[in-house]
Chain A
Amino acid sequence: MLETVTLERRQGAGAVRAALTYAGALALGLALSLAVLVAAGVPTGALFNELVVQVFLSPAGLARTVTMATPMMLGALAAALCLRLKFWNIGIEGQLWLGAICATAVALYDIGGPLRLPLMMVAAMAGGALWILPSALLKMWLGVSEVIVTLLMSNIAFLLLQHLLFGPFRDPTFNFPTSPVFGEAEKLARFGWGDVNGGLVLALVAVALAALALGRLRYGYAARFVGDNPKAALALGFPAGRVLLLSILAGGAMAGLAGGVIVAGTEYRLTQAVGLNMTFNGIVIAALARNAPGWIPLVALFIAGLYVAGASLKVFYGVSEGIVLIAQGIILLVLVTAQFVTTYRVRLARGVVA
């Protein structure tokens, strides 16, 4: 007789129970991170101001957070649309860079006349979709792991980005590897509230369309079947391959659009720093939102808030980057743990193992 530990899926987790678990976890995570920050020398009295007021409550602070969250929403969509079909997109940055490159190319070569800005966004989406296409085809045709291919495609994209910034896209009047600044017709409109720009509208529209497609269209229905059990979907006559390819390309396009939104909305030029960490952030946000587009804006705001708070802690209190990362890591860890315990229960069983 062996003693075994098994994981059991909970039979439909109650909403109240889930909400309480998340709230408790968040409180615990915040308490632990606060303790770390205080130990690192941040005055206790400044914590609330730095972590809440300056991030979410003051107009300027909230604008910073929303601006940062905008491309994150698109990055998270890029992860979620693929993950729903069990395709791990680890190359969001690569697709984002391609999107940024394509949008920049449209701007620098003055393509499209009056439709310049829409064309930049379309080009950004096309670039992202194109960059994820090889990973999708290799996976579907030869069973090559998408984790490896999307990751390595990012490296290629970064080299391409560097090549362009040191070569054809380089601003000749400037000593750094950046592209020239875009013209006015190539910038997304701002609303007079910090750096918040038209990219936010695009991101929210994308989120809404994704939620609609997944929740109400036949495509979304098929995607649920194909994602959960491709064999059953095939036996039922669903075009599993087409659904898979479409979802992956949509994911790549969202990452590309994130790149377009960054260069046309906040940076106004292509740089090497565009979209850094977007793969990690996109996957984290998608996971916390359980791949449901409707939750992505909220989670993206929260994660962006952690970054904004971290940045000001670094500047004003000399807290090292490492401490900020630890605090962010603690919060993410407790949230993921809460997600786990609302989905599964751990069970000790005595009995024979088959």
Chain B
Amino acid sequence: MTKPVQTVAPALPGAPSALRIFGASKRFGDHLVLDGVDFDLAAGEVHALLGENGAGKSTLMNILSGIYTADAGRIEIEGAAVSIAGPSAAVALGIGMVHQHFKLVQPFTGRENLHLAAAGLPLVPRRAVVEEQIAAVVKRSALDVNLDVPVARLSVAEQQRIEILKALLLGARILVLDEPTAVLTDAEADRLLALVRDLAAQGHAIIFITHKLREVLAAGDRVSVLRRGRMVLASHAVEDVTRDDLSRAMIGDQETTQRRRSGSTPGPVLLEVTGLGVRDGGAAYVSDAGLSLRAGEIHGLAGVGGNGQRELAEAILGLRAATGQVALEGRDLTGLSVAARRRLGLRYVPADRSADALAPNVSLAENLAATLVRTGALGRRMVWPSRVRQHAAAMVQSYGIAGATGGGRRPVRLLSGGNAQKVVLARELDRDARLIIAHSPTRGLDVAACAYVHERLLEAVARGAGVLLISEDLEEVLALSDRISVISRGRIATTPDGRPDRAQIGELMLGHA
């Protein structure tokens, strides 16, 4: 199943080792997030770290920055074995993290933020001394950014530079950049890459986490790939790997378990999305997205999380303002409310059940009956609790929802993840459902619950409904979908035949650039 670990390329000849991790493992409950991971980093090197969501990158970096403790494994910094007891210990060891979400005090200026960070150092240094250090770091790193306006008024790229300055000010020799370009425009990203190369040339060791192949090729010296907690491609020189190697390593190359019903005859077009755009506060989440889906079909939309999936789903449902056109069974949905779209048979299984689908403190029975109450099917004005309970009892039985004691009077938050998802499915996959948008419908579920969700989605399709399956789990997409598209930076792409294979999906995910 897993590719054999390939030979490790030597670090830059003669460069001293900055960091070595041997056999790091971390388990959360039953889930082995990191499984004996080795990693090495040389001074003056940019080491790119690739991997899908949930591959274990963040866990590895959290171990490095002292947020988690590894269950097993050893860490050496500059040749000496260390134990990283907490975030401050990591800082003392010269490890600097630049998180994806910046940790800056927005109303403070950049300078004030830097002073604040320096105040965390042992023996609070005097202001003048900190000023001197800031000046020295700015000069050395050639990071130019206005330090005297409130951070809130700076662009994301400028805030990021302040974060990097902060790490350098605290004496970081090992710099971890967690998906630093995810929030940047292409031009800003190029500037960041140049900066990263400069910092490496000054002797800093840099771990560069990214999803984008272009950046690996442009700025990386070596590259490693994590998949499902294992290092599947360890420390290869960037010149020696091809795009194909990387996408294969990221998403695996085993044969799909089985492609579903390749010979089924598709029904009439159910959903037609054309030129859909979603913008919010200047940022484009979805651009010129097109998609079509037929009755009796599952259309899988693969992609790394945060590439516009949620915004796309919410735009189709009518929760978000969007440009372009969405048509359901030939009927233009522009201007229709969520309730009106639902009346036409649109259903939504959101990625985050507790945040977007369920009212956690409301009873199980009332959560199950929510759509019926809204449409007035359980009474035009009055809602009779007995009818709500009756409906709930029927659903509990037909979906096998466990933990529904006392006629479903208990709040729904007390259910396990799998049972909570069954509540959502019971509500959304009713007889009148025409198009079901299912976003990561099996996230966080165990194997049995996953299988159950898949079975129910296939049943809905067999009844003639259509399913738009948005998922970060490629296995799920490959196993269930009749057609597959990939969303990347808010754009939807696919191959001409609508059935990209694993390698093609990998390339589409990496955005081709």
Contacts and interface: CB of A to CB of B under 8 A. Distances in A.
A12 interface: yes
Nearest to B28: A354
A46 interface: no
Contacts of A238: 339, 370, 374
A11 B350 CA distance: 26
B382 A231 contact: no
A221 B376 contact: no
B355 A228 contact: no
A235 B350 contact: yes
B319 A235 contact: yes
B355 A237 contact: no
A231 B355 contact: yes
A233 B317 CA distance: 13
B358 A234 contact: no
B359 A12 contact: no
Given A12-B414, A222-B374, A217 B382 contact: yes
**Among the interface residues A1, A224, A237, which one has the most CB atoms of the partner chain B within 10 A?**
A237
Interface string A191-229: 000000000000000000000000111101110110011
A232 interface: yes
A343 B382 CA distance: 30
Nearest to A233: B359
B361 A228 contact: yes
B337 A237 contact: yes
Interface string A218-257: 1011101100110111111111000000000000000000
A108 to B, nearest CB: 39
A237 B68 contact: no
Contact of B339 (A9, A225, A229, A239): A239
A235 B337 CA distance: 10
A352 interface: yes
Contacts of B319: 234-235
A122 B355 CA distance: 40
A229 B358 CA distance: 7
Contacts of B357: 232, 235-236
Interface string A37-69: 000000000000000000000000000000000
B370 A236 contact: yes
A241 B371 CA distance: 17
Given A224-B362, A228-B359, A229-B358, A236 B371 contact: yes
Contacts of B371: 236-237
A162 B438 CA distance: 59
Nearest to A226: B359
A215 B388 CA distance: 12
Interface string B392-430: 000000000000000000110110000000000000000
B471 interface: no
Interface of A: 1, 9, 11-12, 215-218, 220-222, 224-225, 228-229, 231-239, 352, 354
A-B pairs with lowest CB-CB distance, top 3: A237-B339, A228-B359, A237-B338
30 contacts: A11-B410, A12-B414, A215-B385, A216-B385, A218-B374, A218-B376, A218-B379, A218-B380, A221-B366, A224-B359, A224-B362, A225-B359, A225-B362, A228-B360, A229-B358, A232-B355, A232-B356, A232-B357, A232-B358, A233-B359, A234-B319, A235-B317, A235-B319, A235-B348, A236-B338, A236-B357, A237-B339, A237-B342, A238-B339, A352-B69
